[in-house]
Structure 1
């Protein structure tokens, strides 16, 4: 049984490189350029050949596409765009992505001229959203909290870092302190980038994020040997959290922030990330405790296999991002 669980863990970690940066929601941008003209753009991640590659957003009833939509292939995604003419105010109208299925979701960014940007999250159960004249603060808080949770759970590189941190530290309270230090650190850099006080090119940031995962995997593989990461895990988490904050900023840059509600969006996004992290921490700690109770003599071997799997995923990303 334990061997089977380890095999599943290894398979998931080795599959992760293919999904590291593409497990993001469908992204839709609806931007007004003059009184009647809008630009619609979308990025649809592809999970397999069965995906509908001709899918596109469903526009408000008063809007029509001019000409043919433009589509091009990107890495595991379809990027589309079109010019749209609307015969009146789109407030109160609906925008949708009908192609959603299962646990998939979509983020819609609506940017009317002279009014605040608004963000909506679509799901398979509710694939449409009503465009409002002015987005409410509650809508911003709710949407960005969910985006934060989704980003930590669907972003394999950030997720593996958190899992590796839990496996390294093991004890609940030190793990929570380290995870909170990670959140505080990435919140600082995320806010600094968003407000224009700092910035780094995305490519080296992604390379260093992969390197942080390899570093923690090596620390786990060292066993019980005393190292800085074991003595002061919160410090290591804080240092790497500053780096991961630049990665989160890249994700938020794709989604966009609502004008007039930037502080609410940043705080709720970070709270969502922290909630997602605590959920992952609870699951990993519970699995490790169950392993210790069922087969305590297998714990060291399980940690070694997990460190190799995490390290392999991190090394793959590192090489892939350096070579890209």
Structure 2
């Protein structure tokens, strides 16, 4: 009952959803070495305010736009968004250099600053998009639960052996990676267009399906191959969700392929961190719950939590889709 109450409280919070946070948009366009145009698109009544750095000034141009002037040049100046966490939790910033290269950034209460861009180096592109990929996986409830479900399925199928489960997950994770890489690349490059709300509903449905599959594996090689193919199919759907996050920030025009590859690497790193955390949790449970039946009950609770959450998210997102 305590676990159920915690789950309900988690779902009741808007912060529990990977794509449902109140958000705003900031466009930063460098128009000369000393000037940049800032456009802040926020919901009416939002208490957001742009603060200019030292040596710079802000001049209103329209109700939503301001001109930033810096005598020493705008490139590298740090803008601060005051009021984050009151009405708006996240701001998606689109940054365009004087040369026309576009990139993106995510601004939160914990990281409330935006740097006016110059031409980003390739190492900056790699670091920024790898971090964004890892953050998207680790902060999205649906993606986290899907990885947890894959881990639980492998643990049950291998009788609790972490070593055998790791070998099994290598096959499953490969299928999932191939699937989400295909749709992520196709959507980001504009080859595929798919409504984000439909993709999110499908991601929620994948949680229910993978939860139902926990404990139904015979452990034979052909069973592993089928589940790797199934993980690949689920990966196609999750890749659409990853692409939604990437499209919010925009890839730099001079390094599209590099940014896309770095984002994929970040996604994989986030998944590996989740799987490592699951392995440590199982190891700790074995010391605190020496009976194998106790561990099996914990796995069953995890399966019900994943499936129940997936069903809730599916109904919520389907309802949103039907009422549009």
TM-score of the pair, normalised by structure 2: 0.78
Which runs of 5 or more structure 2 residues have no equivalent in the other structure?
Answer: 156-164
Tell me, in whole angstroms, the C-alpha distance in 1 between the residues paired with 2:146 and 2:242: 14
Distance across 2 between alignment mates of 1:119 and 1:219: 38
Seen in structure 2, the aligned counterparts of structure 1 residues 300 and 14 have a Cα distance that, compared at 3 Å, is farther
Pair 1:174 & 2:156 matched:
no
Q: Secondary structure at the match of 1:92?
A: coil
SS at match of 2:49: coil
Give the Å deviation of 1:121.
5.7
Aligned twin of 2:61: 66
8 Å CA contact retained: 1:292, 1:299: yes
Match of 1:38 in 2: 37
Aligned to 2:10: 15
- How many angstroms apart in 1 are the aligned matches of 2:242 and 2:42? 18
Partner of 1:3: none
Distance 1:33 1:206, change over 3 A: same
Give the corresponding residue for 1:83.
Answer: 65
Alignment root-mean-square deviation, CA: 3.3
Higher mean alpha-carbon deviation, 29-38 vs 255-264, is at 29-38
Corresponding residue for 1:78? Answer: none
1:199 Cα deviation after fit: 2.2
205 and 265 in structure 1: CA distance in 2 versus 1, 3 angstrom threshold = same
Question: Distance in 2 between the 1:13 and 1:233 partners?
Answer: 30
Greater shift in the superposed pair: 138-147 or 192-201: 192-201
In structure 2, C-alpha distance between the alignment counterparts of 1:191 and 1:13, rounded to whole Å = 35
2:80 to 96, 103, 107: 96
Moved more, 21-30 or 191-200: 21-30
Q: Counterparts of 1:137 and 1:241 in 2: how far apart (Å)?
A: 28
Question: Normalising by structure 1, what TM-score?
Answer: 0.78
Per the TM alignment, residue 232 of structure 1 is displaced from its structure 2 partner at its CA by: 3.4
Shift of 1:91: 2.0
Offset, 1:125: 7.2
Q: Contact 1:29–1:42 (CA<8 Å) still a contact in 2?
A: yes
Q: Structure 1, residues 236-285: CA drift from partner, whole Å, max 9, x if none?
A: 21111011111111111112111111111111111111111001001112
Q: Is the 8 A contact 2:105 2:249 kept in 1?
A: no
Change (3 A) 1:128 1:140: same
Sort the Cα spacing of 1:289 and 1:223 in 2 relative to 1 into closer, same or farther, 3 A: farther
CA deviation map 1:199-237 (0-9, x unaligned): 2222221111111000011112x4566798766332221
Are 1:62 and 1:90, in contact at CA under 8 Å, matched by a contact in 2? no
Bigger mean CA offset, 113-122 vs 255-264? 113-122
For the 8 Å contact 2:93–2:107, the answer to whether it is kept is yes
Alignment of 1:122-141 (within 5 A): 127-141=112-126
1:93 to partner: Cα distance: 2.4
- Distance in 2 (CA, whole Å) between partners of 1:231 and 1:146 is 31
2:194 to 185, 196, 200: 200
Deviation at 1:29, TM superposition (A): 2.5
Residues 78 and 113 of structure 2 are in contact (CA less than 8 Å); yes or no, is this contact kept in structure 1? yes
Measure how far apart 1:115 and its partner are. 2.1
> How many correspondences in the alignment?
296
1:315 maps to 311
Report the counterpart of residue 299 of structure 2 in structure 1: 303
What is the correspondence of 1:263-274 to structure 2 with a 5 Å cutoff?
263-274=257-268
